[in-house]
Amino acid sequence: MDHVPGGFALNPRFHRIAAVEVTEDDLGRAIPEHVIAQLDAHLGLLGTSTGYASGGWTAADFARMYQVVYAVLRDTGRRPGEVTSLHRDCLERVDGKPTLIYDNHKRRRHGRRLPVSESTAQLVETWQKELDALPAVPGCAQWLFPSPGQRNRPRRGHLNAAQFCNRIFRDWIDELIPDLVDEQLDENGAPLAYDRTQVVPYGFRHAYAQRHADAGTRPDVLRELMDHRSLDVTMGYYKVSLSRKQEAVRTVAALAVDRHGAARGFDDPLAYEVESVGVPYGGCTEPSNVKAGGGHCRIRFQCAGCDFYRPDPSYLPALEQQIADLRADKEAALAMEAADWVVRNLDDQIRAYSKSADEMRRKLDVLPAEERAAVESASRELRKARSAAAFVPLQALTARSPE
């Protein structure tokens, strides 16, 4: 055996079954935004199904606490147990920006930090002040959401996630909210009732991730926001079914233009897919670049100066970002006293990309509201599809040591 090459030896790094993420993060259970809006409208009913009072806290005080728990779940996408176990000093500001500090119990990673919006931070800060004004509970002093306890028993620890999810939240959804409707209509044109069993606290986590994916957040950034161990789980939010992608292409392809603003729409989804390739700031129809999958641009992706450039509304956020980046590069070039031709090139690109972006906005503005909404929805689907296809995480590329 001494003469057997080392490559045949057992190496725990390579000879093991890959870990599989448990089904808790399975997709498809995101609470739709139109349902969340209905829940927000009935927020005042949450926690009012009981008259329980304890330790100087009234039923209204407990209801207020439950309503804050709901809002934090909705806005942050954290798991229910991560929200109910927040510490009283869970909010800090870094350079003036609010950050939520929480414990990821599932992966045993404590002290995690999540950037939150100013409105969410103000909500937490308001509750902290209200909590300070309520009668102190010695066994719950360190928690943002103290345990309500049980009758004739002392209150200790923080609010239990199961108690909130299975009792307080469930009673609100099943008993207190009078109507919860879907966007779909029945044969008489009346909205169908939404399946209330699909509304669970964990669905806010999926909704949070889906909002970011729809907005074009990079997969590696969303992975950090979700605190996922595996990028494969995060990438699931960017998956677009073939039928949805074809429908999105059918909606957007006809609105493609060239660098001069002239209409260059594609006749059908197949032509859009076969005759062009997605590049950072639009579609490209240059044959050799299409054949190379977008990796053979002879003018180094100065797309706005190329007659093969075919932007459509789905690339508008990328165009806006490119314009902002070019302006920053121009300011840096001026500060460095770069040659005139460097600054002139940046100016020309800014004007060209701005012209393309303005044309995209003009096309959207003249569309009827319903058609414009359809184009914007289709554009989000295409951006998700491109993110999933194009993103290759560097940490996923491992190389064996020569040793």
Q: How do residues 222-240 score in pLDDT, each as one tens digit?
A: 999 999 888 888 887 776 6
Domain total in the chain: 2
233 with 248, same domain: the answer is no
pLDDT confidence tier of residue 4, bands split at 50, 70 and 90: low
In a domain, 6, yes or no: no
Q: Exposure of 152 by Cβ count < 10 A (0-12 exposed, 13-18 middle, 19+ buried)?
A: exposed
184 with 278, same domain: the answer is no
Average pLDDT over every residue of 66-71: 98
113 with 197, same domain: the answer is yes
Question: Which of 191, 206, 237 finishes a domain?
Answer: 237
In a domain, 9, yes or no: no
Name the percent of the chain lying above pLDDT 70.
87
**Which of 56-65, 104-113, 277-286, 327-336 is predicted least confidently?**
277-286
**Which of 1-10, 54-63, 367-376 is predicted least confidently?**
1-10
Q: What is the pTM of this model?
A: 0.67
> CA 238 to CA 141: how far, in whole Å?
41
**Which of 36-45, 118-127, 374-383 is predicted least confidently?**
374-383
In a domain, 19, yes or no: no
297 with 152, same domain: the answer is no
84 with 139, same domain: the answer is yes
65 with 150, same domain: the answer is yes
| Dihedral over Cα of 65, 66, 72, 75: its sign | negative
**How would you classify the pairing of strands 109-115 and 97-104?**
antiparallel
Q: Is the pLDDT of residue 308 over 70?
A: yes
Instruction: Please check whether residue 159 is in contact with residue 146, taking contact to mean a CB–CB distance below 8 angstroms.
Output: yes
* Mean pLDDT, the chain, whole residue set: 85
Average pLDDT over every residue of 170-181: 95
pLDDT confidence tier of residue 12, bands split at 50, 70 and 90: low
> CA 238 to CA 382: how far, in whole Å?
10
pLDDT for the residue 242: 63
In a domain, 13, yes or no: no
In a domain, 180, yes or no: yes
> CA 226 to CA 229: how far, in whole Å?
9
**Which residues are within 8 A (CB) of 253 and not within 5 positions of it... i.e. 6 or more apart?**
265, 266, 268, 269, 271, 272, 312
Q: Considering only residues 318 and 64, tell me which one the structure prediction assigns the higher pLDDT.
A: 64
Which residue bears the tokens 């902290």? Answer: 128
In a domain, 16, yes or no: no
Q: What is the pLDDT of residues 70-94, one digit of tens each?
A: 999 999 999 999 999 999 999 999 8
231 with 318, same domain: the answer is no
Question: Which of 179, 205, 237 finishes a domain?
Answer: 237
pLDDT confidence tier of residue 387, bands split at 50, 70 and 90: confident
187 with 285, same domain: the answer is no
Q: Is the pLDDT of residue 28 over 60?
A: no
In a domain, 14, yes or no: no
225 with 258, same domain: the answer is no
- Return the percent helix, strand and coil in the chain, to nearest 5: 50, 10, 35
> CA 231 to CA 224: how far, in whole Å?
9
**Which residues are within 8 A (CB) of 111 and not within 5 positions of it... i.e. 6 or more apart?**
101, 103
CATH number, domain of 99, equals: 1.10.443.10
In a domain, 54, yes or no: yes
215 with 311, same domain: the answer is no
Question: Which of 222, 237, 252 finishes a domain?
Answer: 237
Average pLDDT over every residue of 289-313: 87
Q: What is the pLDDT of residues 345-361, one digit of tens each?
A: 999 999 999 998 998 89
- For residue 209, what are the CA distances in angstroms to 43, 101, 349? 22, 18, 34
Average pLDDT over every residue of 10-23: 56
256 with 200, same domain: the answer is no
pLDDT confidence tier of residue 208, bands split at 50, 70 and 90: very high
Range of the domain at 357: 242-395
Q: Is the pLDDT of residue 395 over 50?
A: no
248 with 186, same domain: the answer is no
Q: Is the pLDDT of residue 66 over 90?
A: yes
Instruction: Please check whether residue 265 is in contact with residue 255, taking contact to mean a CB–CB distance below 8 angstroms.
Output: yes
pLDDT for the residue 241: 58
pLDDT for the residue 8: 64
Average pLDDT over every residue of 4-11: 66
pLDDT confidence tier of residue 21, bands split at 50, 70 and 90: very low
